[in-house]
Amino acid sequence: LLLGEGISGFPDFLIRALASKDFIWVTLLEFNIGILVAFFQRSGAVKLFTEKVGSWVRTRRQVGGLGWGLGITIFFSDYFSPLFVGPVMRTLTDKYKISREKLAYICDSTSAPMIALIPFTGWAVYMGGLTIGIGPVTDQATAMDLYIHSIPFNFYSFLAIGMVGLLAMNIIPDFGPMKKAEDRAKNEGKVLRDGAVPMMGKELTNLEVSTTGKPNIYLNFIIPIMLVVGINLTSFIVYGKIAILQSYLTVCSLFAITMILQKIDNLQGVMKTVMAGMKGVMPAVTILALAFCINTISRELKTAEYVVSLTEAWLLPNLLPMITFFLAGFISFATGTSWGTYAIMIPIAMPLAFQFSGGEVNTLIYSTFAAVAGGGVFGDHCSPLSDTTVLSSLGSACDHIDHVKTQLPYTLIAGGIAMAFYLGLGFMG
């Protein structure tokens, strides 16, 4: 209706929104994640890991710190990070009565914010590439130099990572909706609120451990994880891009064969586990489909371009970094995509910055570029439409709205402080 196509145009709209390479890719990735988690559960690998780690991680603070540490270690993919940390840590956080909302927050806040600070990721190459041809940025080398020098000015990413670390290890106390969730988990033993709808279905979370065969923590847990990480790192080093879907397809195939050889399951049992894994992630696929539909509407209505056009006329050099951060955050929140935000904001904000700087590459240039990067991460981080937010809810088996609601106060505080820093920097510089 918003697009003026009426009810009769709805099927065509769905095809435009969902028959895209990006949606199909993310859906296949989620299915494979569900299958791998089901294999972990069915083989007894999760139970073995919990018992093993439980021998040296004995407090809620240590468990939270472990989750935070794992999150910042997986710095090469904002998709892989929450889908790795969530399933690996979930049984352990449940054991120590850490709410699923807290786990989802840890997963989400150590994915995109961390990756935005690393200069040799797809994010850096993409954002740097968008600046080529603007001002004195004439090639990829100059663009990457700009990206590297802007990293210290990406205040939001630093604040988000630091804040989640302090909260995860209980160095600073929880507050707001997250405190309520944590009190419920600690006092009542309920890691999910009554009536919550986890993004991971009961087919997966309640999957019974096989009573046949003999699981091995290395063969059924450590090696599969190392293979996934190794394939992605090798692909990134050799080809300059990660191979998330390929890595999960490979590991799931090898895991299925291994389970049969270990006599944990026969072929029929393995196929039932595969189906349970795929069914378990259907809530996430449904939410993601709705998000893609809303993103398509926003894109076709040119909402982001309209918002930017309202501010161009009265932008001042001193206010440019702060306004840029605010606009990037707003657009990313409304559309659920940081990369789409970068494609809109960089061609607008960076020419303005170079115009104000007289063509020189100075603090204004670095801070404006960082403001776009940080603003995109901020909006993506707290938007219920963001794919990484959905994947964090999926990986932690958390109710999606509960995740967004409990995380939002923390992201708003970090975003507010970042805006204050950009305002101060604008007048100091």
- Residue range 265-281: mean pLDDT, rounded: 89
The least confident of 68-77, 242-251, 404-413 is 68-77
The neighbour count for residue 305, using CB atoms within 10 Å, is: 12
Measured CA to CA, the distance from residue 360 to residue 100 in angstroms comes to 48
**CB distance 87 to 51 below 8 Å:** no
- The set of residues, in sequence order, having a beta carbon less than 8 Å from that of 426 and lying 6+ positions away, is 317, 318, 319, 320, 321, 322, 364, 367
Please give the DSSP secondary-structure letter assigned to residue 99: -
Percentage above 70 pLDDT, the chain = 87
Nearest C-alpha neighbor of 143 from the set 126, 160, 131: 131
| pLDDT surpasses 80 at 286 | no
pLDDT tens by residue, 341-351: 888 888 888 88
pLDDT tens by residue, 82-105: 877 888 888 889 999 999 999 999
What is the distance of C-alpha 3 from the center of its chain?
30
The predicted structure's pLDDT at residue 428: 78
- Residue range 392-420: mean pLDDT, rounded: 94
The predicted structure's pLDDT at residue 202: 66
The least confident of 69-83, 326-340, 347-361 is 69-83
| pLDDT surpasses 70 at 295 | no
Dihedrals phi, psi of 405, to nearest 5 degrees: -65, -40
**CB distance 68 to 106 below 8 Å:** yes
Residue with tokens 């923590």: 217
pLDDT tens by residue, 205-215: 667 888 788 88
- Residue range 400-419: mean pLDDT, rounded: 95
| pLDDT surpasses 70 at 3 | no
Q: What H or E segment, with its residue span, contains residue 17?
A: helix 10-18
pLDDT tens by residue, 214-232: 888 889 888 988 898 788 7
Tokens standing for 281?
């992630």
pLDDT tens by residue, 143-196: 888 998 999 999 999 999 999 999 999 999 999 999 999 999 999 999 999 999
| pLDDT surpasses 50 at 1 | no
Higher-confidence position of 325 and 29: 325
Q: Which residues of 68-105 are buried (b: 16+ CB within 10 A; e: fewer)?
A: bebbbebbbbbbbbbbbbbbbbbbbbbbbbbbbbbbbb
> Across the chain, what does the average pLDDT equal?
84
The predicted structure's pLDDT at residue 47: 75
Under DSSP, is residue 399 helix (H, G, I), strand (E, B) or coil?
A: strand
The predicted structure's pLDDT at residue 418: 96
3-state SS, one letter per residue, for the chain: CCCCCCHHHHHHHHHHHHCCHHHHHHHHHHHHHHHHHHHHHHHCHHHHHHHHHCCCCCCHHHHHHHHHHHHHHCCCCCCHHHHHHHHHHHHHHHHCCCCHHHHHHHHHHCCHHHHCCCCCCHHHHHHHHHHCCCCCCCCHHHHHHHHHHHHHHCHHHHHHHHHHHHHHCCCCCCCCHHHHHHHHHHHHCCCCCCCCCECCCHHHHCCCCCCCCCCCHHHHHHHHHHHHHHHHHHHHHHHCCCCHHHHHHHHHHHHHHHHHHCCCCCHHHHHHHHHHHHHHCHHHHHHHHHHHHHHHHHHHCCHHHHHHHCCHHHCCHHHHHHHHHHHHHHHHHHHCCHHHHHHHHHHHHHHHHHHHHCCCCCHHHHHHHHHHHHHHHHHHHHCCCCHHHHHHHHHHCCEHHHHHHHHHHHHHHHHHHHHHHHHHHHHHC
